[in-house]
Amino acid sequence: MSPVDGPGISNPNLPVDPAVNEGRVPGRAEEEIPELHEVDCPPELRERIEELMGRYPDRRSASIPALWAVQERYGWCTFEGIRQAAAVMRVTPAYLESVASFYDLLHTKPVGAHRIEVCTNISCWMRGGDRLLDAFKEAAGDDGEGFYVTGFECLGACDIAPMASIDQRYYGPLEAAEAGVAIEQLRAGEDVLPEKALAKRGLAGDA
Amino acid sequence: MAHRLEKRVLLEHAEDPALRTLEGYKRLAGGYATQERAYKELEQDEVLQELEDSGLRGRGGAGFSMGKKASFLPRGEMAKYLCCNADESEPGAFKDRELMQRNPHQLIEGIAIAALAADAGHAFIFIRGEYDEQADILDAAVAEAYEAGYLGKNILGCHRDLELVVHRGAGAYICGEETALLDALEGKRGNPRLKPPFPAVQGLYGGPTLINNVETLSNVPHIVRHGAEWFKGFGTEQSPGTKVVSISGGVRRPGNYEVELGIPTRELICDLAGGPEEGHEIKAFFPGGSSSPVLTAEEGLDLPYSFEAMAEAGSMLGSGSIIVCDDRVSIPHLALRTARFYHHESCGKCVPCREGTNWTVKMLERMVRGEATPMDLDIVSSVQQNIIGHCLCVLGDSMAMPVGAMVRKFREEFEEVMADPELVLDPHAVVQAPPETLGAST
């Protein structure tokens, strides 16, 4: 029995009555939950989400991982994809959409195939993050299908400022001119700026 | 070779990529021997006592005693949880990234031992979605630990179970706040909860939950292995141990340096991180990430880098992340950049934070455009005062404290900018030198 589904049953000794949290559990309106046969969910996606749900004591915990899976399959969190995930997870599509719209990395609108997030927060800003963002935007041009370029809040890599996350991998410190190189490498399907990959760096104190 | 001022415990052997594997962790660092001893020989109370005696303070920002926090969990038969907070999103902080990337098994061993102290059967690592590379490394390490029997059912034949799940977030600073993290982990939007009840009493799925930062948990195997007295041999009386400090901004060698707490701040910034560039001086710095009130060079450089010294100076050690601003940084623009971050990241649940961050950004924008009136400075200050302490969590306070300190300490600079915004240094490129002369650390 999942702790959320059975207040007080799995946790009989709880000092605080879990019922106080009951009103906070969303996505339970049964009549709004689509049936699996209504949504035409690809079997691989369904299996993936079911596997994710199995990892948690409560299936709803899988909502962010499930949305990641939807985004991986369709490129972004499409309306249909969200309905499919909702049908598998037995929650309302509105609930999953509310989750998707909360987080910066889940896209509820179409985005380009390659995602480039340029940090413009304090440490990167001091080292020219704004200029790097402009350079990436210019290099990507109007190729909205190929590239999604955006400024981003601190990515947690101030040691390699100014930096960018390209398809979820970190690169830095970058010069503005390297933006064009990276875009060309992505277009050609090559490794991006291999010398600037975070994974290649040593410890700062060893320098 | 580590710098002579460094004291590496958590980052020992971290330069060796083999440390990432279970085999390498065992060979280089004697890994999992402490978990084995704890599971086979120690009682829950003995581990708790050791952690409490060590005086280990939380490395995520609040600096609360880890052992005390764990001891708040009620006893008895019930589902209890352990969450590792790896949602490192504080501007200026990047230490947890380094610890997870270079030594994932140290964290896993720490979680396994802390789960014994908390009597938790389920553990989660909540890692920010941006750290995809590090999450992949953790996934691989967790799979290895399951395979070798350090996680899972009946661990090491001790009739104790522990499931560990690496949970990726999807980009929200607020999820680093412990109750918002719990909501996100339950699959909801990451909104903070009212406290009390505190997570130790009612946390994940309504069960008692221990939440600790990556660096805090990484310390656990070392403390249980060598004892509380050994741990207290490092650092100061009130801030024992070593600390991985992230230094960035206007310094020559930005990066993570592990030092004993209490080291002079000047040595950290000027010796380890190389100090400001040739011909420039330090103007101010954030001692503990962007949420900590800035200290001017005169105020802060000669202080010991410890929880108590930073608190006494009216700031905080926070997550241990120093951002250095040299004399080219325009403080009003820095305030605007800081405020914009919190405005973007406010979850919108509490009015003082949602509206306060919004109006602070609007007023600071007016100032740097030269459209503000002199009374706007006082209004900005009063807005900050009206945020602090009035929300469910401290996100609003985290803007109000540094912005308030900037207005207070650099009022003249704000007045100059308001009088003539053209005078300001180029706000978009504060440090002009090409980056490779600044950041190379390999």
The answer to whether A175 contacts B1, with C-beta atoms less than 8 Å apart, is: no
- pLDDT at position A15 is 52
SS3 content of chain B, % helix, strand, coil (to 5): 45, 15, 40
Q: Is the pLDDT of residue B433 over 60?
A: no
DSSP string, B70-110: HHTSPPSSS--EEEEEE---STT--HHHHHHHH-HHHHHHH
Residue B429 has pLDDT above 70, yes or no: no
Report the DSSP pairing between strands B242-249 and B122-127.
unpaired
Considering only CB atoms, A11 lies closest to which of B94, B206, B286, namely B206
Per-residue model confidence as pLDDT tens digits over B196-253:
999 999 999 999 999 999 999 999 999 999 999 999 999 999 999 999 999 999 999 9
* Contact criterion met (CB < 8 Å) for B173 and A126: no
- Per-residue model confidence (pLDDT) at position A23: 52
pLDDT beyond 50 at B442: no
What are the phi and psi torsion angles at A7 (to 5°)? Answer: -60, 130
C-alpha dihedral, B220 to B226 to B230 to B235, nearest 10°: -30
Q: What is the pLDDT confidence band of residue A7, given thresholds at 50, 70 and 90?
A: very low
Q: What is the dihedral sign for C-alpha A28, A31, A37, A42?
A: negative
- Share above pLDDT 70 across residues of chain B, in percent, rounded to a whole number: 95
Does the structure show a pLDDT above 60 at B434? no
Q: Which residue, chain included where needed, has tokens 């979605």?
A: B129
Angstrom distance (rounded) from CA B393 to CA B399:
12
Taking only Cα atoms into account, the Rg of chain B, rounded to an integer number of angstroms, comes to 22
Residue B246 φ/ψ, nearest 5 degrees? -90, 120
Position B368 confidence tier, pLDDT thresholds 50, 70, 90: confident
Which pair of tokens denotes residue A192? 């991006």
In chain B, what percentage of residues exceed pLDDT 90?
87
- Asked whether the predicted pLDDT for residue B435 surpasses 70, the reply is no
Q: Which of residues B434 and B313 earns the better pLDDT score? A: B313
Query: In whole angstroms, what is the distance from residue B164 CA to residue B86 CA?
Result: 14
Nearest residue in B to A19, CA atom: B206
pLDDT band at A8 (very low <50, low <70, confident <90, very high): very low
Looking at the complex, report in whole angstroms how far the Cα of residue A156 sits from the nearest Cα belonging to chain B. 5
**Residue B318: DSSP 8-state:** T
- Count of pairs with CB atoms under 8 A, one residue in A, one in B: 250
Q: What is the pLDDT of residue B438?
A: 37
Burial class (CB in 10 A: 0-12, 13-18, 19+), B384: buried
Q: Give the model's confidence band at B7: pLDDT under 50 very low, under 70 low, under 90 confident, else very high.
A: very high
d(CA B61, CA B289): 9
Taking residue B35's Cβ as centre, other Cβ atoms within 10 Å add up to 26
DSSP letter assigned to residue B192: -
Mutate to test the interface with B, among A102, A165, A201 (most CBs of B within 10 A): A102
- What is the band of A24 on the pLDDT scale with cuts at 50, 70, 90? low
DSSP B175: G
Interatomic CA distance for residues B356 and B390, integer angstroms: 11
Residue type, A92: T
The shortest C-alpha distance from B94 to chain A (Å) reads 5
First to last CA, chain B: 12
Average pLDDT, chain B: 92
List CB contacts (< 8 A) between A58 and chain B: 186-187, 205
pLDDT, mean of residues B131-142: 97
pLDDT, tens digit, 9 for 90 and up, residues A45-56:
999 999 999 999
Q: Which of A105, A155, A175 sits opposite B435 (nearest CB)?
A: A175
**Residues in chain B closer than 8 A to A127 (CB atoms):** 430-431, 435, 438
pLDDT for B33-72, tens place per residue?
999 999 999 999 999 999 999 999 999 988 999 999 999 9
Residue A6 has pLDDT above 70, yes or no: no
Interchain CB distance below 8 Å, A3 and B205:
yes
What sign does the CA torsion over B410, B416, B421, B424 have?
Answer: negative
pLDDT above 70 as % of chain A:
87
The contacts of residue B357 (CB under 8 Å, 6+ apart) are B339, B342, B343, B346, B387, B396, B399
* A117/B131 touch (CB, cutoff 8 Å), yes or no: no
Q: For residue A156, name the pLDDT band (cuts at 50, 70, 90).
A: very high
Q: What residues of A are in contact with residue B254 (Cβ under 8 Å)?
A: 123, 158-161, 204
Mean pLDDT, range B421-440, rounded to an integer: 47
Q: How far apart are CA B111 and CA B224, in angstroms?
A: 12
pLDDT at B437 over 90: no
Residues of chain A with C-beta less than 8 angstroms from the C-beta of B271: none
Bridge pairing between strands B242-249 and B255-260: antiparallel
Locate all alpha helices (DSSP H) within B186-239, ordered by sequence: 214-226, 228-232
Region A135-149: mean pLDDT is 95
ipTM, two decimals, is 0.92
Work out the minimum CA distance from B303 to partner chain A, whole angstroms. 22
- Candidates B248, B211, B252, B316; CA nearest to B97 is B248
In the structure encoding, which two tokens stand for residue A172, read together?
């830095």
Amino acid present at A101 = S
pLDDT in tens, B63-115: 999 999 999 999 999 999 999 999 999 999 999 999 999 999 999 999 999 99
Check whether A12 has a pLDDT greater than 60. no
SS (H, E, C) chain A: CCCCCCCCCCCCCCCCCHHHHHHHCCCCCHHHCCCHHHHCCCHHHHHHHHHHHCCCCCHHHHHHHHHHHHHHHHCCCCHHHHHHHHHHHCCCHHHHHHHHCCCCCCCCCCCCCEEEEEECCHHHHHCCHHHHHHHHHHHHCCCCCCEEEEEECCCCCHHHCCCEEECCEEECCCCCHHHHHHHHHHHHCCCCCHHHEHHHCCCHHHC
Partner-chain residue, chosen from B1, B186, B429, that has the shortest CB–CB distance to A60: B186
Q: Coil, strand, or helix at residue B327?
A: coil
Residues of chain A in contact with residue B263, where contact means CB-CB under 8 angstroms, are none
Query: Closest-CA residue in chain A for B121?
Result: A57
* Signed CA dihedral, B282, B286, B288, B293: sign only: positive
Position B420 pLDDT exceeds 90: no
Do B442 and A157 lie within an 8 Å CB cutoff?
Answer: no
- The nearest CA of chain A is from the CA of B130 a distance in Å of 6
**Ranges B175-189, B355-369, B416-430: which has the least confidence:** B416-430
From the CA of B348, how many Å to the nearest CA of chain A? 11
Q: In what order do the strands lie in the sheet with B242-249?
A: B255-260, B242-249, B321-326, B282-286, B295-296
Most B CBs within 10 A among A68, A88, A127, A169, hence the mutation to make, goes to A127
B14 in the Ramachandran plot: left (φ > 0), alpha (ψ -120 to 50) or beta? Answer: alpha
For residue B125, what is the DSSP state?
E
Interface touch A2/B129, C-beta < 8 Å: no
Q: Name chain A contacts of B93, Cβ cutoff 8 Å.
A: 154, 156, 158
Q: Which residue has the tokens 């961050």?
A: B357
Cβ B262 vs Cβ B305: under 8 Å: yes
Sort out which chain A residues have CB atoms less than 8 A from B3's CB and list them.
205
